[in-house]
A and B are shown apart, each in its own frame.
Chain A
């Protein structure tokens, strides 16, 4: 798997991905907040693989969301043709 930023050519590192989480917290009497629990509401794998939410991933270097994700770098035309043949 590879990730490319098509704006600044950043590859495979420094990419930011926001994920919704459910958090339980305690409000102290003086207004301070204590975090007690954190659980993800979204699947990270789905978010990376899903085309609709790919634009949520942003490059940390240039803040662009023009990201290209190649999920399987070994998949070439021969393999695809062989699978189509089956």
Chain B
């Protein structure tokens, strides 16, 4: 789950506005609009997909900064992405991504992760330790 609508709990279908670059040419006085192609590379489609991915990544990264307060509905709305199912704009990153139960202090967390640190040190410095040789 990457984004969720807080009104209808849809997490799949969304709508946004993206700029699509098309190529125009004049043929016998008429405008012809087509995809911009460079040999086998479709610039229009690729640029469009990148822009769409950029918007989604931006909304996921900034999370609450992508929201704007709407005084009419008295709630925060996403400035970039809206829900396709309920047309609502309360689209956010799912908040359950944050681990709710956390150790109370830093010390507790460090003790809890002690084994992982030892494994890291073994991987990092294990080859520097003296090698015990068996007596024949």
Residue numbers of A with Cβ under 8 A of B are 1-3, 12-29, 31, 33, 35-36, 38, 41, 44, 48, 57, 60, 73
Contact = CB atoms under 8 A, between A and B. Distances in A.
Given A27-B3, A33-B56, A21 B14 contact: no
B118 interface: no
Interface of B is mostly: strand
A36 B12 CA distance: 12
Interface of A is mostly: strand
B21 interface: yes
A28 B14 CA distance: 11
Given A16-B36, A27-B11, A33-B53, A21 B24 contact: no
Contact of A23 (B16, B23, B27): B16
Interface of B: 1-3, 11-27, 29-31, 33, 36, 48-49, 52-53, 56, 84
B12 A12 contact: no
B88 to A, nearest CB: 14
B5 to A, nearest CB: 12
A27 B20 contact: no
A14 B23 contact: yes
A23 B15 CA distance: 6
Output the residue of A17, A20, A29, A44 with the most chain B CB within 10 A.
A17
